[in-house]
Amino acid sequence: MNTTYFRLFFESPGNFNRVKIVNLLNQRPYNINQLSKELNLNYRTVQHHIKVLGENMVVQSDSNGYGALFSLSDEFDIDKFMEIYNASLDECVLDEDVMRKKVLKMLK
């Protein structure tokens, strides 16, 4: 996992929604409608996040079009993601700059 993933999940708008999507897709494939209902988010919002995650090789699709199932891509390191995510939760009481430095150090 690199700093691109860090920005995707911890610095950008919608980061918590992307984390939730990854956590769900780690369990099983979902289509956008299923994710929308599960997360209580607008369909287009989920569609946008899936597009961003796909462009960054986090998710992959079994087909194109409505009803396509999405899963985590083979290139995405879920174990490293969870390590960084859990560390960020542990450090959430600290100053945001301190947390960023610790997470970025883990990425090296």
Burial status of residue 62 (CB atoms within 10 A of its CB: 0-12, 13-18, 19 or more)? exposed
Helix (H) or strand (E) holding 59: strand 59-61
pLDDT (0 to 100) of residue 8: 78
| This prediction's pTM | 0.76
Domain-wise residue ranges, the chain: 3-76
> Which of 105, 100, 62, 59 is closest to 78 using CA atoms?
59
Domain spanning 3-76: which CATH class is it, in words?
mainly alpha
| C-alpha–C-alpha distance, residues 73 and 78, integer Å | 10
Q: Which residues pair with 72 in a beta bridge?
A: 59
Extract the residue ranges of the chain whose pLDDT is less than 50: 93
| C-alpha–C-alpha distance, residues 41 and 27, integer Å | 19
